[in-house]
Amino acid sequence: MSSSQESSGSVTTIDALLQETRTFPPSAAFAAQANVRDASIYQVAHDDPEGFWASAANRLDWFQRWERVLEWDAPWAKWFVGGKLNASYNCVDRHIKTARRNKAAIIWEGEPGDTRVLTYRDLYREVNRFAAVLLDLGVRKGDRVAFYMPMIPELAIGLLACARIGAPHTVIFGGFSAESLRDRINDSQAKLCVTADGGWRRGGVVPLKDTTDAAVAQTPSIEHVLVIQRVGSDVRQVQMQEGRDVWYHEALGRITQKYVEPEQLDSEHPLYIMYTSGTTGKPKGQLHTTGGYLVGTSLTHEWIFDLKEDDVYWCTADIGWVTGHSYIVYGPLANGASVVMYEGAPDFPDKDRFWDLVEKYGITILYTAPTSIRTFMRWGDQYPAMHDLSSLRLMGTVGEPINPEAWIWYHNNIGHGNCPIVDTWWQTETGEIMITPLPGIIATKPGSATRPFPGIEADILDEAGNSVPNNVGGNLVIKRPWPAMSRTIWGDPDRYVATYWSKYPGVYLTGDGARRDDDGYFWLLGRVDDVVNVSGHRLGTMEVESALVSHPAVAEAAVIGASDPITGQAIVAFVTPRSGQQPNDALTAELKEHVVQSIGALARPKRIYYTAELPKTRSAKIMRRLLRDIAEGRVLGDTTTLLDPNVVAQIKEQYAASEG
């Protein structure tokens, strides 16, 4: 193994990748019809990146054209300086002036099987009405609006309504706890929180309004809670606090305004804040702005997914994550695509639900996550086999490295060998897809995200900042600004500089390890920092550690990501109990629940080990690397810097015993 990179233990090891050596060129038929057929675009964009992005910006409607493509005072970027536009206008208004007005914009299916199809004309009407309600509730340009919602059309409508009046939104995934919601609302100082009386998940109701009530009891900035009726009062009664809480359908009944003029916003006007985990306990609010973001997401969406006018496109992510923002809402709708949206679980009422949806709606493009693909593999080939999947013509993956076995299964069982697979690497911070095949010209290799998108200059550096040779691991970096990049961390510009732009000045540090092969293909090797990727969702080990130590029985905790065959990585915690506390199954269950209450179900530790002490360096730093090595069964590296080498032996023994 030639890598010197310490990956945080993702399922994709170089050894596993090397076992699959086939390449998959696009079929002649696909290549002939692809949106991008000429590979010279890579050189063109490389030679003149600003010219490349400027020509991409022509795809949008601007109220006022930009004066300068890029203003770059590292690490501060401004794109399309002087330009004025509106994201909601670009995603909705401009389409209703064309034949697209009667085209399906959102094809929605609720988990119980109820459906709604909104044409672009319908979407236009609904976005205007929602914007009128926002104004009625006192929301103005620049005010932040939080969303804590199920996957229903009102979520997309609400975001576009915010964009229309220039109020940045911040969506908090519906699986997060009240505490997480509270902290994000307080950090963004949102004025309004939009939620629902519930959402359907595996036949049950997710009590979003109750959780919101618990959160907003401690968020002084919130003036109103706007509640969408999704499940209905016969299913679930919610408490409405007089003066604060407003039913959306009642608010709609009060407004008389049917049209809200889209604000002519500066290209750099904040569009949204998306919180993501980092290496400290506090999530970072990534700030995305308007012009560059819309250029980046819409261009990548059209080129990478080879979007055609008659495609039916389904991205299975939740809008609570960046994938949903960029590739359910802004990119696809700016492109006038027909977007499928599904509310519920993939195994409800049975494990063929996704394939049922593909067949029912004739889905042509499917974008999902490796963890889902591995789950489908485990469920068995019979579920996709129950349905006609022949409408599919292209498939994508995102969120973590895909192991070649899952890639091949996806290719054979879902794509029936006919669909190019685009493995797309990007991040909340990058806003848009950065490393990916262009499906008409790039032959794919299972497990590799292949090449940087045109105009993106990616490199792999060693600790000293030199480009590493082929087949050697290093730090993945981006050497030039790109339009959809996060502009700063909300309220904490110093942290933005320190986290991303300080290791190599003027160069963006991704936090991922990677290597390049002899064909120049990039192979992602997982995170190199203390960020864990569980089912494609990012969690900081520090966040989980803070949650654990806030429990009265815990003196100290260290958290790592250990390889997991389904979720990629799983949370494993090592806990030192306070004296007098007896570790037992009841405490383990209690601690797991405590983490769920503090952060959300996605952070639930899979295993908890108790140890009298944690391995620390002489300067008292917890050596998570050693704990990872133990969890992965690796030979332990250098332990000479340890304060007490016996600690490791004891933990190892316990780990081995529990593994049986």
**φ, ψ dihedrals at 531, nearest 5°:** -115, 135
Q: Is 368 helix (H, G, I), strand (E, B) or coil?
A: strand
Name every residue whose Cβ is closer than 8 Å to that of residue 653 and which is 6 or more positions away in sequence.
Answer: none
Nearer to ligand PRX, 60 or 514 (CB): 514
Provide the 3-class DSSP secondary structure of residue 511: strand
Strand order in the sheet with 192-196: 245-247, 224-228, 192-196, 145-148, 169-171, 270-276, 284-289, 488-489
Can you read off the two tokens belonging to residue 113? 């099987």
Q: Which of 137, 141, 149, 160 is nearest to 87 (CA)?
A: 160
Print burial letters for 259-273: b (CB count within 10 Å at least 16), e (below 16).
ebebbebbbbbbbbb
CB of 401 closer than 8 Å to CB of 370: yes
Nearer to ligand PRX, 57 or 514 (CB): 514
Task: State the minimum distance, in angstroms, from the CB of residue 402 to ligand PRX.
Answer: 7
* Contact between 437 and 485 (Cβ < 8 Å): no
Binding-site ranges for ligand PRX (CB under 6 A): 276, 322-323, 398-401, 423-428, 449, 510-512, 524, 527, 533, 538
Cβ distance to ligand PRX smaller for residue 425 or 655 = 425
- The minimum distance between CB 475 and ligand PRX, in angstroms, equals 12
Shortest gap between Cβ of 300 and ligand PRX (angstroms)?
12
Sheet holding 508-516, edge to edge: 458-461, 474-478, 508-516, 522-527
3-state helix, strand, coil in the chain (%, to 5): 35, 25, 45
Q: Which residue number, 96 or 172, has a Cβ lying nearer to ligand PRX?
A: 172
Pick 164 or 527: Cβ nearer ligand PRX: 527
Residues 6+ apart with CB under 8 A from 450: 423, 435, 436, 437, 442, 444, 521, 522
- The least distance separating ligand PRX from the CB of residue 188, rounded to whole angstroms, comes to 18
Which is nearer to ligand PRX, 337 or 532 (by Cβ)? Answer: 532
Which residue number, 404 or 511, has a Cβ lying nearer to ligand PRX? 511
The distance of closest approach from Cβ of residue 108 to ligand PRX in the complex, given in angstroms and rounded to an integer, is 22
Q: How far apart are CA 371 and CA 569, in angstroms?
A: 10
d(CA 10, CA 428): 19
Nearer to ligand PRX by Cβ, of 484 and 623: the residue is 484
Shortest distance (Å) from residue 520 CB to ligand PRX: 17
Which helix (H) or strand (E) segment holds residue 559: the answer is: strand 554-564
CB of 453 to ligand PRX, least distance (A): 12
Take residue 23 and report the two structure tokens written for it. 């390449």
CB of 353 or CB of 537, closer to ligand PRX: 537
CB of 427 to ligand PRX, least distance (A): 4
User: How far apart are CB 526 and ligand PRX at their closest, in Å?
Assistant: 6
